[in-house]
Structure 1
Amino acid sequence: MWHPGLVDVVYATVAGALLSTAVVAARAGSPHRTPSRTALVAAVGTLGVSFLVQSPAARGVQNHLVADLGQLTGNGTSLVAAYALRVMVLHVRYDRDTAAARARRWLVALVVAFVAMTVLFLATPTVPGRFTSPDAPAGVVAYYLIFTSYLGATLVSLALLLGRYLDTAGGRWSRLSLHLHRAACVAGLIYLAGRVVALLVGRPRLEGSGQRFNLIELGVTILMPAVVAVLFLLGVLIGRGERWLRHRRAYRRLRPLWEAARAARPHAVLPVTGGGARLRLYRRIIEIQDAQLAAAQVLDAAQRRRIDGAIAGAALTGESAAAVREAALLAAGLAVLRDGRAAGGDGGPVTGAADQEVDLSAAVARLERVSAAWTGSPVVHRLAAPPEPANPR
C-alpha cells in the first residue's frame, strides 16, 4: 500500500497548480473576456478544489462528519468542472443565445445528477474506504454510473471539439497544446472506465491478488487523475506560452510603424507602464491606428491619386496592393505632420477596411503586412513624402 503522505503531496501539488493557473488566468488583463474563457477558468479552478477535497488528509477531516463524505464533495466538484467545460464547448460551437439555452439544459442535468448521487450516497451508508472498493454495495455502483455518464459525455464532446480544431490549427505549438488537451480527455475517459470496471469486477475475482488490486486501485484513483490534470495543465501552459511568443513577435514586427508614429506625434504615444504582452500589443495597435487617423486628415485627393497611380504602375494586387497603399498613405500623412505643414486633407480613409476589427489576430495580420511594406516596398519609399506645393505666381 502507498504512503498517505505521498498521496497528499500529489493531490496538493496538482490542486495548487490548477488553482494558481485559474487565479492567474482570472487576473490577467483581457480587453475582451469571452464566456468560453470564463467557463474554462471556472473549470480549472473547480477541478483544483476537487483534487484538494479528495486528498487523504481532507478525506480524514470529512470522515469525522460523514463516512466517505470526501467522495461526494470531490465527485460533485468534478461534475461542476465538467459542466463548466461543457459551457465552454457550447460557446465555442454556437452563438451566445443558443449556447446559453443549451447550457441551462445541461445545468438542469447537473442538478438532477448531483441530487441523485446525493440520495444514493446517503441511502448507502458505508465505512470509510469501502465506498471505492470493488465489493461496494449496488447503490454505490449506481452512484458511479451516474457520475461517469455525465463526466464521460463532457469529455467525449470536448475531445471531438479539439479534434475538429486540430484540423485547422496552424502553429506547431498550438497543435501540441490541442494534442495535450485531447490526451487529457482520453486519459480521463480511461480513468472513468477503470473506476467502473474496478467496481463491477468485484473482489472475488481478485482473490489471492491483493497486492495486484492495490496497484490497480493506485493507478485508477491517484495516477490517472494526476495524469489528466498534468496533461491539461501542460496544454494550458503551452497554449499560453505560444500566445505570449506570438504577441511578442507581433509587437516587434510593428515597431517600424510605431516608431514612425512616435516621431511624427510624440505627444500621442504614452510611456510604457507595464502590462502583459497582449496588453502592450493592444496599445501599440491603438497608437498606430491613432496615427493613421491623424494622417488621414492631412492628405488631399491629389496625393491619394498619386499613390494609387504608383501602385497600379507597380502591378500590385490583392493584399500586397492594400498593404503598400496603406503604408504609403500613412507615410505621406506623417511627413506632413512631422514637417508642420498646413493641413489641407480631405479626411478620407488612410487605413484598410479592417481597421475596426475586434479580433486581435486580424488586426495584427493586417498591420504586419503594412509594416513589411513600410520597410521593404520601394513604392512606399518613393512616395513617403507628399509633393511640394506649386509656387504661386
Structure 2
Amino acid sequence: MELFLVLPVAALVWKIYQLTQRPGDRPLRFVTLCLLCATLSYPLAMPGGASGMDAVAGHGAAKIMQNVLLLFTVYSLMCFYLFSAEAPGARRRARVEAGVALAVAVTITLAAVTVPHEMFAGSFATADMAVPQIATFYAGAGLYLMYALGTAAWWTRRYAGMSRRPHSTGLWVTATGLWVTATGLGLMAVACAVRAVFVGVRWAGGTVPHPVMTSVAKLLVVSILLFVAGITYSGARARVASLRIWLRHRRAYRRLAPLWELLATAYPENVLRPASQALFDRWRARGVHRRYHRRMVECRDGLVDISPYLVGEDEDPAVLGGAGAADLAARLRRASVRIGGGVPAPRRAVPVAIGLGPDRHADVSELIAVSDALRNTEETS
C-alpha cells in the first residue's frame, strides 16, 4: 500500500510548484491545501504510519490527526469550489465553514483526550462505542464528512461549470477527470455514511462483522486516491501533451541542423542571439521550444538570402517550385560554394521550400526534408 503514496505526493508537489508560480491564486491555494491534507492523512490510515505517529506523539494521536486532516481536506474542497466559481459571499461562507470545521475538530479532539488510552486503543472496528466520548469522536467526524462531501457534491453541480479555467478543466471539461473525481467523492461519502451507521448500531449494543468494517476502511483509502487522481487528471494529461510537443520540437531542432549549419556559415549575421545562457535551458520545455522556433526562423531567413544563387543564369526561377528535396540540397551546396567565392547575387530572392499546408507544420516539414537530404549527401560523400 505504501507504493500508492507516490500518486498523492506527486500531485501535491506539482500543485505546490504551480502555487509558487501563482501565489495569489486563491482557488489554487485551497486545492493545494486539500491535496496536502489528503496526502498527510493517507499514511496515517496505514498501520505503519499510525504506529509511528503514536510512538512519537502518544497513543491515539495518529487517529486524531487523521480525522482532523480529513475534516480540513473536505473543507478545502468546498472552498475550492466557492472561490473558483467566484460565488457570491464566498469569503463569508468560507469563514463560516472554517468555524464549523474547527468546532468539529475541537469536539472530537476533546472527546478523544478525555478517555483513558486503553479505551481509545485499537481501531474503529475494535473501539467501544458504548463510551459516549468514543461514539462522539467517530460520529462527529463521520457526520461532518458526510455534510461536507454532500455540500461539495452539490456545489460541484452548481459551480464547477462556471469555474474559471484552468480550475474547472479536470472537473467538468475533461470527462474522465470529472468521472474519477465524482467517483472519489461519492465513495468517500458512502464510506462516511456507512461508518456513521456502524457507530449508531454499536452504540445501541449491536455488532458489525469485522470483514465489513475492514472493507469500508479500505474503501475510504481508495476513495482518497481516486479523488487525488481525478482532480489532477487534466494537469497530468496536459503534461503528457506537453512532453509530446517537447519531443517533436527537440527532434525537429536536431534534424534541421545540417540546413542550419550550411546557412549559418553562409550568412552568420542571420543567427539570432540566444535568449538564455542558463545551464539547464537546453532541457527545459521553454528553452527547447524557443530554440526550435529560432532555428526555424534562421533557416527561413537564410533561404531567402541564398535563394538568388539557387537558379542558374539560363534557368527560370519557377523551377524551384517543383524542385525536390534532393535537388534543393544539391543546389544549396553549389550556392554556398559560390557565396564563399564572393560571387554577387545574380537576381532577386525567390520562394524556396514553401510548404503546401496552411499551417507552420507543413513549412517545417519542407525544411526538414531539405535538411535530411543535406545530411544524406554528407554521409554518401
TM-score, length basis structure 1: 0.56
Q: Are the structure 2 counterparts of residues 76 and 274 from structure 1 closer, same or farther at C-alpha, using a change threshold of 3 Å?
A: farther
Deviation at 1:374, TM superposition (A): 7.1
Partner of 1:343: none
Between the aligned partners of 1:172 and 1:94, the Cα distance in structure 2 is: 16
| Contact 2:128 2:134 (C-alpha < 8 Å) held by counterparts | no
Larger Rg: 2
Deviation string 1:299-324 (CA, Å, 9 cap, x unpaired) is: xxxxxxxxxxxxxxxxxxxxxxxxxx
Query: Which of 2, 7, 24 is 1:17 aligned to?
Result: 7
Partner of 2:214: 218
Deviation string 1:165-200 (CA, Å, 9 cap, x unpaired) is: 479979998110111001000000011012112221
1:92 is the counterpart of 2:84: yes
Between the aligned partners of 2:284 and 2:19, the Cα distance in structure 1 is: 8
Gap regions ≥5 residues in structure 2: 163-167, 251-255, 257-268, 295-356, 363-381
Partner of 1:69: 61
| Contact 1:46 1:78 (C-alpha < 8 Å) held by counterparts | yes
Q: Are the structure 2 counterparts of residues 220 and 375 from structure 1 closer, same or farther at C-alpha, using a change threshold of 3 Å?
A: closer
Query: Which of 238, 252, 257 is 1:243 aligned to?
Result: 238
Deviation string 1:34-93 (CA, Å, 9 cap, x unpaired) is: 221222122112212112233223333455564423211111121222222222122112
| Contact 1:19 1:48 (C-alpha < 8 Å) held by counterparts | yes
1:231 is the counterpart of 2:226: yes
Superposed, 1:1-393 pairs within 5 Å as: 10=1, 12-28=2-18, 31-33=21-23, 34-63=25-54, 66-94=58-86, 98-125=89-116, 126-129=119-122, 132-133=125-126, 135-136=128-129, 137-163=131-157, 165=160, 174-202=174-202, 205-206=206-207, 213-221=209-217, 223-245=218-240, 247=242, 266-267=272-273, 273=281
AA in 1 matched with 2:71: L
Q: Are the structure 2 counterparts of residues 41 and 283 from structure 1 closer, same or farther at C-alpha, using a change threshold of 3 Å?
A: farther
AA in 2 matched with 1:200: G
SS of the residue 1:232 aligns to: helix
RMSD: 4.5
Partner of 2:348: none
SS of the residue 1:193 aligns to: helix
SS of the residue 1:266 aligns to: coil
Deviation string 1:116-166 (CA, Å, 9 cap, x unpaired) is: 111211223314116543641232222223212332233223323444547
Partner of 2:351: none
Partner of 2:165: none
AA in 2 matched with 1:159: A
| Contact 1:169 1:175 (C-alpha < 8 Å) held by counterparts | no
SS of the residue 2:15 aligns to: helix
Between the aligned partners of 1:150 and 1:50, the Cα distance in structure 2 is: 16
Between the aligned partners of 2:248 and 2:216, the Cα distance in structure 1 is: 49
Q: Are the structure 2 counterparts of residues 155 and 66 from structure 1 closer, same or farther at C-alpha, using a change threshold of 3 Å?
A: same
SS of the residue 2:209 aligns to: helix
AA in 2 matched with 1:227: V
Between the aligned partners of 2:38 and 2:46, the Cα distance in structure 1 is: 13
Q: Are the structure 2 counterparts of residues 51 and 249 from structure 1 closer, same or farther at C-alpha, using a change threshold of 3 Å?
A: closer
Between the aligned partners of 1:69 and 1:45, the Cα distance in structure 2 is: 18
Gap regions ≥5 residues in structure 1: 1-9, 207-211, 288-370, 377-393
